[in-house]
Structure 1
Amino acid sequence: MSKARAGAGGVPPEGAARAAGMPDMVGAAVCVVDEDGTIAWANAHAERVLGRDAAALVGRDAHDLLHRDQHGQPLVRASCRMTEAFLARVARVGSGWFERGDGSLVELAWLVAPCAPDGAHADTMVIFTGPDRGPDGAGLPAGSGSALSELERLALLAETTTQLTSTLDSEEALRRLVRLVVPRVADWAVVDLITEPDEVERAIVVHYEDGAFVTREELQGPMPPVPEDSPMPLSRALRGAASTLVTPETYQGPPDTGVAIEQRRLFEATGMVSAAIAPIRGVRDVLGALTLGRSKGREPLTGADLSLLDDLTRRTGVALDNARLYQRQRKVAETMQRHLLAQLPSVPGLELAARYVPAPDDSQVGGDWYDAFTVADVTTALVIGDVVGHDLDAAAGMAQVRSMLRAYAWTHHEPPSAIVHRLDASMTHLTGVPTATLVFGKVEQGADGTWCLTWTNAGHPPPLLITHDGRARYLTQGHGLLLGTGLAPVRDDAVLTLPPRSTLVLYTDGLVESRDRPIDEGLDQLRKHAASLAHRPLAAFTDLLLERARPPGRRNDDDVAILTLRTPAAQT
């Protein structure tokens, strides 16, 4: 509903019946927000908690009016998880700071859920829990939080499933888990992971303090091995036993193992007065344990919390299992691909360098490759190519195309265009590769000592030539259709004498193109960076070009292969 549809008293006409029928939940502040992020209705508890009457809430943008950081500054809308939940219309839980009518801040846990799961209405319900306030403005002690309601529990589990299954990075999955449960369920989160059959790593110790997550790195690190018969809670959890409630007194007696000593140190350093420990189980093995702890001032964890903890660790185990399986498969593919990439030949007078960088964690390996080899001991062949796809099939297809090109180049002493024509004609019949792009060139030294490059381009980004004085230009000649079209196009060769001390760069499109950057912009940036690095030694030039053309803050979705060549100084 839009602002124009708000009726008398601020209650939207279409939402009036739903709002009137909504229970005025004891101890919970409830607001209804429309699809524009505008507050459409608020109950009496919301008025007290937020320190504003309905007239001051209804019709106002919820983000601009209420959402703040711990210092009282407005939040950037793009980074606000509550606003994100409004727009996505998904159930989500979190916590944050909100500005009351008198300008003071209140820290509240919140639950966002669509009012109508069937999508019939675009309204979203927000439930705030935390310090309630009476007419005099006095708040209950911070951190006195009660147990989660059934609705909050289901929303938390749903959000946990969504958050953990949307990443294949185990570290990121654990970070998301911590931010879901702290501080809503506990003040502390501790994750112990079994890294080897007899080795444990305390991977995470995080505390929520003054509106921020604080990592206690001094409490993290290697742990003693998992004892085989210790009855202590963490030892049992790491062996897969049931979840357990724990207090500092649990570890006050004589320690039976090194794990017990570390647990006593943990409780002393954190000040936890109540904790729950549960195993994180994968499909076949125990992967670790999750400990949630509460500090003094909060109600102790109870048996009801153990049931929630078991649900959380079950989802965590699935996420970690998937991440580890993905990483193993990815490692196999990367290893295969790296072994297939050629060792660069030693060519008197020429310098050669090459690099291969796999795609980031949320992608699979692809079919990018480089190659360099000598033909008849007088010619150096150069190849950069990209087989379509981002999976193990693409890597295997790359190996087939690479081997065929090598065979044709070695057995047929023809111009590059003729070699690529042969490859194109046979690729569809002899490989499973649908399409591919490449640049294939030959470098030969003339009688006068100069070096000549002859090349053809099959739908690939153009080579880049940089002179020693920093002038850079793309070699756009010799460009033709990619491989695999079935059209048998006429291919041309281009010829160029390489200047002394010049650098030739062959690369795949992952270096210049990404989801958030068009290829023209990437090509321009690559040219500028290459020109500025022209004076660097070739190995440093290649490394720095790769680093600067793919800055850490920019999303890169593809593999990158890069092959560089440098000619010697002019003969005197």
Structure 2
Amino acid sequence: MRLEVFDPAPIGVMITRGPEHRLGYFNERYRKTFGDRPLGHPLREAFPDLAQSGYFAIYDRVYATGTPEVLTAVPIDVAFPEPSREKVRFFTFSISRTTFSDGGRGVLGVIAEVTEQVTAAERIRVLSEERRRALLRYRSLVNAGTQIVWVTAPDGGVTEPSPGWQRVTGQSWEEFRGDGWTAAVHPDDRDALLQEWGRALAEVWPRFTHTYRLRTATSGYRHFAVEAAPVRDGDTVIEWMGTCTDVEQEWQEARREDLLARAAAATADTVRLDDMLTALAEVIVPDLADACAVYLLPQALPRPPGAPLTAERVAATTREGLPSLPPPHSDHLAPDSPLTRAADARRTVHAVFPPGSPPPDLVPPGTEPWTAPGANSAVLLPVVVDGTTAALVTASACGDRPPLGPSDIGLLRTLLERADAPLSKAFEYQRTRQVALALQQSLLTEPPEVPDLGIAVRYRPSSAAAEVGGDWYDCFVLRDGATVLTIGDVAGHDLPAAVTMSQMRNMLRGLALDRQEPPGEILGRLDVAVQTLHPEFTGTCVLARVERPEPGRFRLRYSVAGHPPPLLTGADGTARFLDGGRSPMLGVDPAPRPESAVEPLPPGATLLLYTDGLVERRTEDLTTGLERLRRQAADLTGAPLEVCCDTLLDRLPDDDGDDDVAMVGVRLPAAG
């Protein structure tokens, strides 16, 4: 055998001689693997570091029997000449008996290193075991945890069962898989959730969060917070994994704080009581109830308990999609009405009933409905202000919304308690305003009937301002036949201003009746009297006398104290302001000396006295408003006096009525 043929072999080759296995040959690959070993020495001496391994016994058996043996992936721990990460390396041995040319026998050993294959296989085994254990831990965590854990495909369809989902929703795996989970989501939340989830899938958001209502197997709908993230293999999304956590309590707390904050904001800048109650109803619906109605109870006269009750419904709100409740109006409530009983007892009424079937004592037959259509529950809460039941708040729920319960009633009570201070102020203001309005209306009398003169009066209260206006007018005939026209505006918008206005009007009427003096002198005496009795008072006024110097002729004698000038429109369509007889406003000059002026009144002319609400706008100067009034009056030449006054009022913009308007119009007879 020519042993040189093994020198370039890529595997190790070794040959021994005789029963002592003296080392006779090894090739270069063998030497690089195990180092230089002394030729001619027995294996046990050449490899002392393998003395305890048992490998030499294999050589003995092969030499003795001639039967080859193969050792696969056996570990060898020797001092290797080449550096290696592994202390123990793995080899596969093929050992067989050989015969030399001289008749001697030996053993041929062929060796191949398989350390990398063994190490890779071991790593795979370890990773497989770790993955198996991780999967077991995951399943144990999912089964034992309170959160719902789920897995979907990259397109969002559920791919694995979720014990938590089944436990909470009652859906089976067949109902849950794919897109079946959406059936458990509240219908009102489903579209928004699917739209947001679709965007997260398409854009591969790193984190998806959303809160929605989920139908549970035992307690109706509850709010759950979902969190999900994509699972990637490199740049490829292989699945999505997420959790659902019950956040009903946290959501209820957040809703409570939000409702209370919005109720406080809604009532903070509101003065009118009906606006305040309407704002509260719009906070309650739809977040807390599906319908809400508010009844304002009369405050003027005491009512014995058990008597019929007339209540004004000032607010009626239903959530979108439900039929509206009857519009605000006065309701005459029988003594056995639940509203009347709640007002008398000052006690909350709460009822839960089958949808659409309220008990007869809650909505008696023939009475106007105050609950939502198909309601499943209702609440009546009396609003007690300063010891008096001032209003009733009704709320009802229907559809998929759970019946109103103790927590909802508690939140409603807290909302009304937080609004107690502004409501008390609003009720007090309303009482004051009602008195002031009654006083004001009592002074706005009808004009007298004067031969040959047409007289029209108009008053339009402010549509935007909450205060009572100080505008007033008067018209009466003196003993000398002159017709007195007067119009004025008192500074202030409250009950004291209304009282001062009434006193000034009555004093002016008495001064005009007492002496037949020019209007300027009468206004001067009025100014002195008012400054004496009411030093803080200021106001404006026009006092005019329509006189007949001779049959068929008329003239105007007038004085203007800080008021917009009278407007005179001729029968030919010309219109101009009367600028004579002007003086400062009342209450300003300590020694007032108002002037008087005289103006002929041509046949068919129209004289208009008015307050500043007719011409003033927040966004323009007074000159612009006066010129607009002059043009409008000229355009109305020839129209009946009543039509002229109504048209001028109708042309006022609805969104700018922050002051009231008073008008006195006089139409002169035509020529002949």
Residues 245-273 of structure 1: per-residue CA shift (max 9 Å, x gap): 53224996973x47355799777x62334
Decide whether the 8 Å contact of 1:191 with 1:291 is kept in 2: yes
Q: How does 1:383-532 map to 2 (within 5 A)?
A: 383-432=486-535, 434-447=537-550, 449-488=552-591, 491-532=594-635
Equivalents in 2 of 1:519, 1:494: separation in Å?
23
> Once the 2 structures are TM-superposed, how far is the Cα of residue 462 of structure 1 from its aligned partner?
0.6
CA–CA distance in 2 between the matches of 1:138 and 1:216? 47
CA deviations 1:88-108 (Å, max 9, x no partner) are xxxxxxxxx99969899xxx9
1:246 to 342, 351, 355: 351
Per the alignment, residue 259 of structure 1 pairs with 363
Alpha-carbon shift at residue 163 of structure 1 (Å)? 1.6
Matched, 1:217 2:326: yes
In the TM superposition, residue 507 of structure 1 has moved relative to its aligned partner by 1.0
Q: Does 1:208 align with 2:319?
A: yes
Q: What is the aligned partner in structure 2 of residue 540 from structure 1?
A: 643
Report the CA distance shift for 1:204/1:555 in structure 2 as closer, same or farther (over 3 A): closer
The TM-score, its normalising length taken from structure 2, stands at 0.56
Identity %: 35
Corresponding residue to 1:353 among 447, 452, 456: 456
Please name the residue that 1:78 is paired with: none
TM-aligned CA distance change 1:175 to 1:138, over 3 Å: farther
**Are the aligned partners of 2:608 and 2:665 in contact in 1 as well (CA < 8 Å)?**
yes
Distance across 2 between alignment mates of 1:474 and 1:343: 25
| Aligned match of 2:47 | none
The alpha-carbon distance between structure 1 residues 414 and 248, as it changes in their structure 2 partners (threshold 3 A), is same
- Confirm or deny: 8 A CA contact 1:365 1:391 kept in the other structure: yes
Separation in structure 1 between the aligned mates of residue 598 and residue 567 of structure 2, nearest angstrom: 14
Aligned partner of 1:215: which letter?
A: S
Query: Does structure 2 conserve the Cα–Cα contact (< 8 Å) formed by 1:478 and 1:491?
Result: yes
1:453-497 deviations in Å (ceiling 9; x for gaps): 122211110111112343222112222222222353654332221
Residues 369 and 103 of structure 1: CA distance in aligned 2, closer, same or farther (over 3 Å): farther
Question: What residue in structure 1 maps to residue 670 of structure 2?
Answer: 569
Which deviates further from its counterpart, 537-546 or 357-366? 357-366
What is the Cα deviation at residue 501 of structure 1?
1.0
Give the letter aligned to residue 265 of structure 2: T
Q: Which residue of 2 aligns with 1:154?
A: 257
Deviates more, 1:146-155 or 1:432-441: 146-155
Larger mean CA deviation between 483-492 and 507-516 belongs to 483-492
The 1:198/1:455 distance shift into structure 2, 3 A limit, reads same
Question: Deviations 1:51-102 (Å, cap 9, x if unpaired)?
Answer: xxxxxxxxxxxxxxxxxxxxxxxxxxxxxxxxxxxxxxxxxxxxxx999698
> Structure 1 CA distance, aligned partners of 2:534 and 2:624?
34
- Give the conservation status (yes or no) of the 8 Å contact 2:281–2:294: no
Shift of 1:222: 4.3
Quote how far apart the aligned CAs of 1:401 are: 2.7
In the TM superposition, residue 138 of structure 1 has moved relative to its aligned partner by 13
* Cα offset, 1:310, TM superposition: 1.2
Corresponding residue for residue 51 of structure 1: none
Question: 2:656 corresponds to which residue?
Answer: 554
- Determine if the alignment matches structure 1 residue 199 to structure 2 residue 309: yes
Q: Among 448, 460, 466, which residue is 1:363 paired with?
A: 466
TM value normalised by structure 1: 0.65
Deviation at 1:505? Answer: 0.5
Name the aligned partner's letter for residue 612 of structure 2. Answer: D
Could you tell me whether the CA contact under 8 Å between 2:473 and 2:486 is conserved in 1?
Answer: yes
Matched residue SS, 2:319: strand
Seen in structure 2, the aligned counterparts of structure 1 residues 426 and 300 have a Cα distance that, compared at 3 Å, is closer
CA 1:147–1:440 in structure 2 vs 1: closer, same or farther (change >3 Å)? same
Count of residue pairs the alignment pairs up: 443
Q: Give the Cα–Cα distance (whole angstroms) in 2 for the partners of residues 309 and 445 of structure 1.
A: 68
Higher relative contact order (CA 8 A, sep 6+): 1
Structure 1 residue runs of 5 or longer lacking an equivalent are: 1-26, 28-96, 110-128
* CA–CA separation in structure 1 for the residues paired with 2:356 and 2:400: 21
**Runs of 5+ unmatched residues, structure 2:** 1-146, 148-191, 201-209, 212-222, 231-239
Deviation at 1:532, TM superposition (A): 2.7
How much has 1:244 moved relative to structure 2?
5.7
1:257-295 CA-partner distances (Å, limit 9, x unpaired): 47355799777x623345544333333333454343444
- SS of 2:599's equivalent? strand
